A = this chain, B = another copy of it.
Amino acid sequence: MTGVLRPGHAQLRVLNIDEAARFYRDVMGLVETGRDAQGRVYLKCWDEHDHNSLILREADHAGIDFIGFKVLNEATLDQLERDVRAFGLETERLPAGELLETGERVRFRLPTGHLFEIYAQKAQVGNGLPNVNPPPWAPDADRGMAPTRLDHCLLYGPNVTANKKLFVDVLGFHLVERILGPAEAGEPEIGLFLSCSHKTHDIAFVEYPEPGKLHHLSFRMPTWERVLRAGDIMGMNKVPIDIGPTRHGVTRGETIYAWDPSGNRFETFAGGYEPYPDSRTITWTFDGFPHGLDFPQGKLHESFLTVVT
């Protein structure tokens, strides 16, 4: 319990910024909150209070530039910076304002090759509801798929067990679930679901030869009924779906995996249980993992292991 709060922002590379902005704003139903001088587009989920959680940057190939976690305060930021350095990673400070309405960020590269950031400040713009006597939801809750928040991301790269060490020993995450490789390979840990809260995961990693890859960015849906509604909207908009709707065995979550117009996979995710730091870790064997991925079907959808950006 180091003061790391939650995934606060992620920057995606998209092939066409206008098409991507339209997709995340009008089809997914995020709220566009700004554009910067570089042409980046900033969005947030309707029920988030901070200024942005998704930043889109036009590039010639899709993928994730970086993921940032909000921490409790500046003191936490400073302490974690020291701890990460002590762990042996180089860190970099990005100045306040480099991302719109966002304070100074401490950035470092994970063993899996991903750029990871922590920051303590982001301007609060609210969720469209008053702070006094609020109704339970705002009109934006019915616009597009309307996820409530950025939930987590799953990243692919090499050396996931080195990531585990960093997240558990330094950043204070707990290992909620894990996937093992084949018995003939000695059952190495190839999938790790880590939480800094009592969510089933705030970040997850899967072993993959190429560093810095994105498997999916996940957005939170309030109910299984709203996951289906999201699926309906995907059908209406010809959004290509990878898997679902279905239930994960891993996390017990309810899910659809689909692709944005640039080919970045995203998830609409509901449910799941609430683990605590004192919970035992759940293990999925390689043979058991098909049910971990798609509990009803027990099917190891090939694309889960192979398609990343």
B-binding residues in A (CB < 8 A): 1-3, 5-6, 47, 49, 70, 72, 124, 131-137, 142, 148-149, 197-199, 222-225, 228, 231-232, 234-236, 238, 241, 244-247, 249, 252, 254, 256, 271, 273-274, 276-285, 288, 291-292, 295-299
With known contacts A3-B1, A198-B197, A198-B198, A134–B282 Cβ distance under 8 A: yes
Task: Identify A283's interface contact among B124, B131, B136, B273, CB under 8 A.
Answer: B131
Chain B residue nearest to A296 in the complex (CB)? B231
**Copies assembled:** 4
> Secondary structure at chain A's binding surface: helix, strand, loop or mixed?
loop
Residue from A136, A256, A277 having most chain B Cβ neighbours under 10 A: A136
Query: A236 to chain B: which residues have CB within 8 Å?
Result: 135
Q: List 14 A-B contacts (CB under 8 A).
A: A72-B278, A131-B282, A133-B283, A133-B285, A133-B291, A134-B282, A135-B236, A136-B232, A136-B249, A231-B247, A232-B247, A235-B295, A245-B246, A245-B296
Task: Identify A225's interface contact among B1, B224, B273, CB under 8 A.
Answer: B224
Task: Identify A72's interface contact among B1, B225, B281, CB under 8 A.
Answer: B1
3 cross-chain pairs, A with B, having the tightest CB-CB distances, nearest first: A231-B296, A133-B288, A235-B295
Query: A199 to chain B: which residues have CB within 8 Å?
Result: 198
Task: Identify A235's interface contact among B198, B231, B249, B279, CB under 8 A.
Answer: B249
CB proximity of A78 to chain B, nearest CB, Å? 16
Query: A70-B278, A136-B249 given. 19 additional CB < 8 A pairs?
Result: A1-B72, A5-B278, A70-B276, A131-B280, A131-B281, A131-B282, A132-B282, A133-B288, A133-B291, A135-B295, A136-B232, A136-B247, A228-B247, A235-B249, A235-B291, A235-B298, A238-B298, A245-B245, A245-B296
Chain B residue nearest to A241 in the complex (CB)? B297
Query: A72 to chain B: which residues have CB within 8 Å?
Result: 1, 277-278
Chain B residue nearest to A148 in the complex (CB)? B273
Whether the pair A276, B6 counts as a contact (CB closer than 8 A) is yes
CB proximity of A230 to chain B, nearest CB, Å? 8
Query: A296 to chain B: which residues have CB within 8 Å?
Result: 228, 231-232, 234-235, 241, 244-245, 256
Whether the pair A134, B249 counts as a contact (CB closer than 8 A) is yes
CB proximity of A306 to chain B, nearest CB, Å? 18
Whether the pair B278, A235 counts as a contact (CB closer than 8 A) is no
Task: Identify A135's interface contact among B137, B228, B249, CB under 8 A.
Answer: B249
How long is the Cα–Cα vector from A8 to B95 in the complex, in angstroms?
42
How long is the Cα–Cα vector from A137 to B72 in the complex, in angstroms?
34
How long is the Cα–Cα vector from A231 to B255 in the complex, in angstroms?
13
Query: A235 to chain B: which residues have CB within 8 Å?
Result: 135, 247, 249, 291, 295-298
How long is the Cα–Cα vector from A235 to B299 in the complex, in angstroms?
10
Query: A5 to chain B: which residues have CB within 8 Å?
Result: 276-278
Query: A70 to chain B: which residues have CB within 8 Å?
Result: 276, 278
